[in-house]
Structure 1
Amino acid sequence: MIEFWLAVGLLLLVGTAFLLIPVLHGRRAQAEEDRTALNVALYQERLAELTAQRDAGTLTVEQFDAGQAEAARELLADTEGAGNGRGRLLGKALPLLIALALPGLTFGLYWHWGASQDLAAMQDRPSIDQMTARLEQAVKDNPDSAEAWYYLGRIYMGNGDAGKSAMAYEQAVRAAGRAPELLGLWAQALYFAADKQWSAQMQALTDEALKADPNEATSLGLLGIAAFEEERFAEAIDYWQRLSAQMPAEDPARASIQVGIERAREQLQAAGQPAPGEVVNKSMALIRVSVDLAPTLKSKVQPGDTVFVFARAASGPPMPLAVKRLTVADLPATVELSDKDAMMEQLKLSSFPQIQLVARISRSGVATQGEWVGRGQPIASSTSEPQQLLIDSPEQAQ
């Protein structure tokens, strides 16, 4: 179970970074803040690269320790003297700070999953201690510095001290305002500090965060984990489906989230309970659909043009759940889409209550790119009625 949560948790947090990328382009901050944030980002990026190389077996433990120590020394040199006079609100720097939080949060989750001793052994303690001391002095000198409190909360989490991390995030919220991202991080630190025991305070923080931003990723992921740990599997599925729905289609974390959802479904099935959106007592889902081309388009396509007929979730991940490939010369045609055609074992037609049928003509033969398309209205995945699809619209008009 530890390995499962490690994989799911890390990928959930990485997926959050994709959601913040568009926000980063609009950030304007002072030159000193930019330099400090960039130095920290480069340190975290270098640390992630070293960790990946160590895990892949291309670096020995000694090489990893040496590389980490060198990165820490460079960060200390670059940020020397940058802690004073930084009392501006976190609001201007918040998007970048939240994006930078992900490596630190990963360290926190790693500690949570029972590997704090291994993590501590890998760290260059004198350098980490120096950075911690410098941030602690910065908040003493300027207790209204939201940025210093934020960085301190992150480094406390990396060191496995979730209690101090929660205190630091609380002070960051006091200084910067109740941004939903900070509320989610505060709740997460409290959860770890309480040894995974949910509380009214954590519920209030995540409720407030999701009220301000229904897609706040840290809160959704945390609520899903807490629900799973407390065997509230239906709630865990709901939170993780909401998180998955907002992630980019190409994000590999989507598959890992779906694995977590499937584990929760298995637990519900073992208890004789239906999962959210599940068709009770269902057999394999099978949809029969007839596909044809609008008369006005017959002169605009070639017989060899590829036709993709697929079904995808009406509300959920945008990738196809089942696909059949034809050519224009085959039209009109009737095809069957079923669980047997699933592109991924954990993403089947029967896993979703409603689906949408789509037929696309692609001269390039690429399923995600086409010239003409036909789309149906959402239907139940359990339907047995034959469906009709007419390819009649330019793709760009959809």
Structure 2
Amino acid sequence: MIDFWIGAGLLLLAALAFLMLPLLRGRRVQAEEDRTALNVALYEERLGELAAQRAAGTLTLEQFEMGRADAARELLDDTEGGETRRNSDLGRAVPLIAAILVPLIGYGLYSHWGASDKLQLAREFTEQPKTIEEMIARLERAVKAQPESTEAWYFLARTYMSQERPADAAAAYEQLINLAGRQPELLGQWAQALYFAEDRQWSAQMQQLTDEALKGDPNEVTSLGLLGIAAYEGERFEEAIAFWERLVATLPVEDPSREAIQGGIARAREQLGEPASARVKEPAGETAAVDAGLKVDVRLDAALTDDVQPTDTVFVFARAMSGPPMPLAVKRLTVADLPATVSLSDADAMTPQLRLSNFEQVRLLARISRDGNALQGEWKGSSEPLALGHDDTVELIINQPDTP
């Protein structure tokens, strides 16, 4: 940021130079006025001498008039142009006041409306974080600089959970839900964060959140898993089995968490005296849901060729038309890769809870970001709403400014 403040300081000095010129000129005018006053005093003194000599009879009337005319001519020669200079003195105080107020007002206005924090943050995002703590610090500054960014709040909440900071994650999810609305996926994750933050003690708030989530989406995976855990730890094994079986039926076949959940079901059956080898029946059509995806042909508008660089990052992602604002699937490219054809499917999901196959309609977007920031870039392109399983390749042209 030091280069920014140096540049701002140089611009301020240039502005002050224009403001101070009248003041410097005013000093010269003052010196001229002082000289004019001295000349007037000398003129009056000369007239006095002439009058005394005339009274003493040493000067004739003609000589007296000639002396007075000479003195007047000398005074006029010395003060020629003085009237114009005196008029310039009227605004002498204005530049001095402006020179004091401009820096103060400029700093105050920039402090209120400026974006130095966002500029610094954008520069930091151009470099890969060296530690998870550094990444968390960046995300915390991101939500402070852009408190309306639902994506920044979502990534921060997920990062808090991965670092076993459930209390901070719960606060982040609450803020996210205030911005994005009470989406079932977010309600379930908020309830999960609260559950671990409160030392795995079930509460009425968690029950209300999971009930609301399942009402909006009966297959909301986080709520089903969390209710199964709470039922198992409360020794309500039949309820735990029911929730977990619904969860397994929702997860893709290749999901690695299926085995762990089936193990939990087996343990719950053992507690009920049932055979541990009981298996969950795979739902019909599961494979079709897993394979569902979209093919995207990403291109850059020819008019923007000179406005981008080959190393600029290109993010291609899908968002639900009716659902959470976070991306469901993401691919990362560079401008040098364009044009390119990519496929988006459940394999590209950012989290197991948010998958393409869970939604009927999505919108595709592509974003170019010079600093590698997935939340904000310079150019973007978007598609019309698309049904999942769209057979044809979707053409996505990046041709619009990416405004906040």
Q: Identify the TM-score tier after normalising by the shorter chain.
A: 0.3 to 0.5
Structure with larger Rg: 2
TM-score by length of 2: 0.36
Q: TM-score, normalised by structure 1?
A: 0.36
Structure with the bigger RCO (C-alpha within 8 Å, sep 6+) is 1
